[in-house]
A and B are shown apart, each in its own frame.
Chain A
């Protein structure tokens, strides 16, 4: 109740003046400075909300313009022809491709990232872990178009072997069937995305594992646990929410990745049942490749597809927060 009735001009409640505040009080500059700072920070906070609201209103407005003219179902249509009268476009292929490529990336990247983080914090000698961490940081700084070029020039031409092997041994599943097309498919994109999101997941996980309570680890060791048992019983449960947060950061990057996907994928507006056949598309890739020649109508349609990506990202983040909230007991505060 107190919070809602708080008066804007009233001095902030100071139940227990901290050391810093006492020092400032001694210098005699408390009130005006505090008030100005309060105003500035509150103003900034409100400004942020206003900007976000303005963007949201603009996007929703333009998207609704486009969707109202759409001749086919926006959510289920397998085509993107905004130049026709009336226009026909739908996001089914894009939503599928975005989710599938991100899932592949996560499946590959998360275990590897966690393994690297554990190695760096619990196995590697200090002299080795420093440089390796630094190199991983550098990986995160490589621009995505560079990954895209590397993917198109090095990764794609060298995927034939893997694709042939998958087709021979796992082709019966239907998911790994290969018709012999150029390997510019969802699996290649997923592998490239996995490499791209590896650094951020590794970095955050490493910091989380490093903060695992030393006392518990030592206690476990004293009781005769092996190093693996220590990791399994003390480090992993402690770091689980952190690893989930890290994975979500990586997933966010994978969902929104644009240039690398546009460079490597062979986008078409149909869904391939096999991960090895070229085709499909993602939201960001589609926006990048269609924006240049798009008419006003086309841009509105692309904005509408961007809104859907935004909503998907929000849902994913919300789900991650819910998972983390349920595991609060493991957070650092209780350790």
Chain B
């Protein structure tokens, strides 16, 4: 066929374009860290990192929500100890799977290990089991784009009704009541949620379910369940849609709210509405209680907190590691890295990257646990 002969040249060109596109997409879409900026962090930090006999290379996999934090840590740690760490942000599910199959010494996850996953981890942690170490907190911001509105306060029931397609217009009385003095336009609300499964969706809906069950009657989980609304892939996709669309509202991690997306302040019942900031998120995490048994430090967040200045819509991501029975060749490096990220310096870097540090009461337990890893 002549067609095939003609196509060959086209194919060659196509192959070039494809390889170019692959090289581009490999950069990942969830990466909002602005590269060189992080190196502005005080270089003195590198001197405080205890390397012990950490050496070689570490592979890890897991939650994409903490990818930017890990990247910032790895930069400092590698500079100090020369250990290369490859964190592939393949998602929490992929991370836990890789961990329970013994492919990675530690994994990142948006949610604590489930009982059957702990059971599976016993096979690779000889004499021990997988445990959760809370390392990174992150406020989930609700961004909005309504022409003429700069400040918006919402409470949980109103937010639930908006995302459950019950409140459809920005001039709804329920919104007006929470925002006295704000001129709300007669504009259709376009609520955006994630189209992929995500720990952000999981924590956002957990908050709505915990605080406004009657307005958000769903079971929750990583997949969006409510009807109606629109969707976009990844936090970056939701943020982009909110930015583009007049009348839009959507949720994403705070770091995606840069570039002029306004965020909703939450009326939690505290004296004043709480803004989505790193400090406010840390205050809310301080209200969490440790529900893990033994060395496991899985947290249960108090979404209904009314503490002054506590922003309860937060996401906590864990590092998952064996408490006992870690592989001898990766243990020193894993321990040194975890020790560093749980240290004061390590946690300080979080705030610079729009993540929330874990409050002292909890992170001190994490440090003790890390010293006991074997």
Pair from one complex: yes
A203 to B229, CA, bound (A): 40
A268 contacts partner chain B, Cβ-Cβ < 8 Å: yes
Q: Is the CB–CB distance between B17 and A146 below 8 Å?
A: yes
- A-facing mask of B218-255, CB < 8 A → 1, else 0? 01011111011111110000000100110000000000
Enumerate A83-102 residues with CB–CB distance to B below 8 Å. Answer: 83-84
The docked-state distance in angstroms from the alpha carbon of A289 to that of B232 is: 10
A140 adjacent to B7 (CB under 8 Å): yes
B328 within 8 A of A: no
Mark out the residues of chain A between 4 and 38 whose CB falls within 8 Å of any chain B CB in the assembled complex.
none
* B18 close to A (CB within 8 Å): yes
The answer on a CB contact under 8 Å between B10 and A137 is: yes
Residues of B within 8 A of A138 (CB): 10, 13-14
Contact: A298 with B93, CB < 8 Å? yes
Complex CA distance for A95 and B341, rounded to whole angstroms = 47
CB neighbors of B among A36-85 (8 A): 79-84
Contact (Cβ within 8 A) B3 A181: no
Interface of chain B residues 327 through 367 with chain A (CB within 8 A): none
The residue from B21, B93, B245 contacting A182, defined by CB atoms under 8 A apart? B245
**B52 CB, nearest partner CB in chain A, Å:** 35
The answer, yes or no, to whether B312 is at the interface (CB within 8 Å) is: no
Question: Is A192 at the interface (CB under 8 A from chain B)?
Answer: no
B94 at the interface (CB under 8 A from A): yes
Instruction: Give a binary string over A255-292; 1 marks a CB under 8 Å from any B CB, 0 the rest.
Output: 00000001100111110000000110000000001101
Cα(A80)–Cα(B224), bound, Å: 9
Shortest beta-carbon distance, A31 to chain B, in Å?
Answer: 33
From residue A298, how far is it (CB to closest CB) to chain B in Å? 7
The segment from B74-82, B155-163, B193-201, B298-306 that touches chain A is B193-201
Q: Are B223 and A290 in contact (CB under 8 A)?
A: yes
Nearest Cβ on chain A to B75's Cβ, whole angstroms: 25
> Known: A138-B13, A140-B7, A146-B17. Is A293-B190 also a contact (CB below 8 A)?
no
Task: Flag whether A174 is at the interface (Cβ < 8 A).
Answer: no
B6 beta carbon closer than 8 Å to chain A: yes
Tell whether, in the assembled complex, residue A141 and residue B10 are in contact, meaning their CB atoms are under 8 Å apart. yes
| Cβ of A3 under 8 Å from chain B | no
Contacts of A80 in B (CB 8 A): 223
Cβ of B245: which chain A residues have Cβ within 8 Å of it? 182
Scan residues 134-166 of chain B and give those whose CB is less than 8 A from a CB of chain A.
Answer: none
Q: Which A160-218 residues sit within 8 Å CB-CB of chain B?
A: 179-182, 184, 203-204, 207
| Known contacts A145-B21, A182-B245, A294-B197: A204-B3 contact under CB 8 Å | yes
Report the bound CA distance from A267 to B197 in whole Å: 12
A266 with B197, Cβ < 8 A, contacts A81-B225, A181-B190 known = no
Q: Which of B25, B90, B219 contacts A292 (CB 8 A)?
A: B90
Report whether B10 and A290 are in contact in the complex, using a CB–CB cutoff of 8 Å: no
Query: CB within 8 A of A81: which of B7, B192, B221?
Result: B221
A181 touches B6 (CB 8 A): no
Q: Which residue on chain A has the smallest CB distance to residue B18? A: A143
Please state if A83 and B13 are interface contacts (CB–CB under 8 Å).
no
* Complex Cα spacing A133 to B231, Å: 38
Q: Is the CB of A293 within 8 A of B225?
A: no
B91 interfacial contact with A, CB 8 Å: yes
Given contacts A137-B10, A140-B7, A266-B230, contact A289 B223 (CB under 8 A): no
With a cutoff of 8 Å between Cβ atoms, the chain B residues found around residue A290 in the complex are 196-197, 223
Q: Is the CB of B3 within 8 A of A207?
A: yes
Q: A83-B222, A204-B3 are in contact. Are A140 and B195 (CB under 8 A)?
A: no
Contact yes or no, A266 B219, CB < 8 A = no
In the assembled complex, the Cα of A114 lies from the Cα of B317 at a distance in Å of: 55
- Set of chain B residues within 8 Å of A143, measured between Cβ atoms: 14, 17-18, 21
CA–CA, A183 and B9, complex, Å: 36
Listed A/B pairs (29) with beta-carbon separation below 8 Å: A79-B225, A81-B219, A82-B223, A84-B221, A138-B10, A141-B10, A141-B11, A141-B14, A143-B18, A145-B21, A146-B17, A157-B244, A180-B188, A181-B188, A181-B190, A181-B230, A182-B244, A182-B245, A263-B233, A266-B192, A266-B232, A267-B231, A268-B231, A289-B196, A292-B91, A292-B93, A293-B196, A294-B93, A296-B97
Given known contacts A80-B223, A268-B229, what 19 new A-B pairs fall within 8 Å (CB)? Answer: A83-B197, A133-B6, A138-B13, A138-B14, A140-B7, A141-B13, A143-B18, A180-B188, A182-B241, A207-B2, A270-B228, A289-B195, A289-B233, A290-B196, A290-B197, A293-B93, A293-B94, A293-B197, A293-B199
